[in-house]
Homo-oligomer: A and B are copies of this chain.
Amino acid sequence: MNRLELGVCYYPEQWDRSLWREDAQRMAEMGLDWVRIAEFTWGLIEPERGVFHWDWLDEVIDILGEAGLRVMMSTPTAAPPKWLIDKHPEILPVGPDGRVRGFGSRRHYCFSSDVYLAEACRIATEYARRYGQNPYVHAWQIDNEYNDHDTVLSYSKTARDGFRRWLSDCYGSIEVLNDTWGTVFWGSLYSSFDQIELPNELVASPNPTHALDFARFSSDRVRLFNRAQVNVLRQYSPGRDITHNFMAGSFEFDHHAVAADLDIVGFDSYPLGNLLGSTLSEDEKRRYLRTGAPDYQGFHCDLYRSQGKGRMWVLEQQPGPVDWAEKNPSPVDGMVRLWTWAAYAHGAQAVMFFRWRQARFAQEQYHTALLRSDGSPDQAAVELAQVAAERENLPDAPRERAHVAILLDYESIWAADILPHDDTFPNARIIREWYAGLRTFGVDLDFVGPQDDLNEYILIVIPQSMIVSSELAAKLRGSGAKLLIGARAGSKTPDMHTPLNLAPGELADLTGVTVRRAESLPELAQETVRFQDGATYDFTGWREIIETNETVVASFCSAYRDGSPAIVRSDRAIYLAMIPRGPLLHTILSDALSWANIPVTDCEPDLRITRRGGLGFAFNFGATGLSLPSDGTQGYLVGGSEIPPYGVSIWQDR
């Protein structure tokens, strides 16, 4: 089923009962298919332990269902009620500063708490028993944005105890842990798992394997928490799709692992909300202030579509200014439509808007919605109606597997955060810039993780994979794909050790390279990469001194080791001894695509083109009209070959 479905997040509990029926009617008339409800309702439904007030929610579901809307019910575990916290204060999360974070907002729980896990399953069971077979309830969302507000890594006593058990299960004996962590370093050997503390509030930096294991443990607790609720829902609400709303730009837990337990991978899309805090330049922030970065929607849709094996929904779509970024500008008129079509083009099955009506009280009053708080329609409602009409013109178009994949490994991101070499390593920026660089060539992309099937890709790009296991290396070797490999790849074993053969460790044979030294340069010092044709480009930051017998594509110009290889190409792999950005990255990606025989369309900076099934899509993120490259199209279904500012064109591609 590939028709674009539309939905909205609705909080009937915040509004007078008298509005519910009219709301439902207006939703249906607007063309909405889905309504997500109830994710912060625990305190209302169960005001004291074991006492349930279901009536109002029963009524809401009936009203919505009778209006022809499908309900996505939520488990309410993102906000445990006060009476539960009062009874079990150990549920509260603890920051890296060792201080408890209290009740009074949301997400005030520690993933490591078995008490809370049991309570979460208990309330999920109650919800699932009540609504699991309700004919209007067609899907479930579990909890809300697991890694919002930085609680994935919680430094509670509960977490410490759980971490000890997890380590014991993982290592079996404390001697193995001592060996694996290398506690002989700084003489910090343990004689029992009960001696192990959490890696915060230390005098100096923690043992990196200790820190990485804590990140793994913490991620695993998220997976367990999610899976426990999945199991409840599978039992009491069979046949309904289960999802969770991941956040954009977040890497705190292993999303691949959590996604594996879901039917649909959802995410929350805030293109402007995530702009000013991003790693974009000042110029880009100014340019895309009211549109969002051109690759924001594509990046996250491609990532989560890949994790969802094709089943990906936008569970919250920004409708106008949000209330939580540094500054909160409006999107230009037309952007809500553009974002919605871009999500669809990148594989979304449904796009749901956050939220129906702007709040009149409490925390999110400045977050816009489809309606203003007085019930009048805001701009997003207008654009939603336009999309609802336009979708009727489109045929079925399943998004197909791409020829080019980006390898994204959450553990490698944690590893580089834990052992950055210097003060920081720009994991997120590297991945985002490689994605954007490839997309400006019109190349469609999948994301893959180390656990995924890598066969059938022509080119796999590896922006940052600091940890490469022998299994992953074997998969890459066996895939037959050509590889574009960023610096640091394979530089640590899964135990956070330096490989015996030095970096790139398991990738040595594929690349033909040995890294003899890594260094890093500050922003105030730029160095130069020179290609064989004499072209030169600046870079800064990470740099490697490598040895190779393979083809040296470009070399460094430097006061230090002038002429040492910067880019090396073997039969199977291009290896980069620095982190390219801007024009250097553009050239490297262009060369790699050409080397792998991937066809490209060089797009103007504000234009993005992608394909879904037999359809072509173009999006103009700029203030100037553009002409589409002539494309042998078979006719436009939306827009035309001249694409106005902030416009969308859709055509029959073949």
Contacts and interface: CB of A to CB of B under 8 A. Distances in A.
Interface string A167-193: 000000000000001111111111100
Contacts of A189: 43-44, 47, 81-82
The copy count of this chain in the complex is 3
A519 B286 contact: no
A98 to B, nearest CB: 6
A104 B160 CA distance: 13
A556 to B, nearest CB: 11
Interface string A321-352: 10101111111110000000000000000000
A365 B419 contact: yes
A295 B640 CA distance: 60
A560 B332 contact: yes
Most chain B CB within a 10 A radius of its CB, from A209, A286, A366? A366
A374 B82 CA distance: 57
A374 B502 contact: yes
Most chain B CB within a 10 A radius of its CB, from A48, A82, A149, A376? A82
A308 interface: no
Most chain B CB within a 10 A radius of its CB, from A208, A362, A365, A517? A362
A518 interface: yes
Interface in A126-179: 148-149, 151
Nearest to A361: B182
Nearest to A291: B559
B204 A149 contact: yes
Contact of A99 (B47, B190, B201, B204): B201
A205 B105 contact: yes
Contact of A107 (B204, B362, B372, B421): B204
Interface of A: 11, 13-14, 40-44, 47-48, 76, 79, 81-83, 86, 93, 97-108, 148-149, 151, 181-191, 195, 197, 199-210, 276, 282, 285-286, 289-290, 320-321, 323, 325-333, 358-366, 368, 372-374, 376, 378, 419, 421-423, 495-498, 500-502, 516-522, 524-525, 541, 545, 559-561, 623
Given A43-B187, A330-B517, 18 more contacts: A14-B184, A81-B189, A98-B99, A100-B201, A102-B203, A185-B363, A209-B361, A321-B518, A327-B522, A329-B521, A330-B561, A331-B560, A360-B498, A361-B497, A366-B421, A372-B502, A378-B517, A559-B623
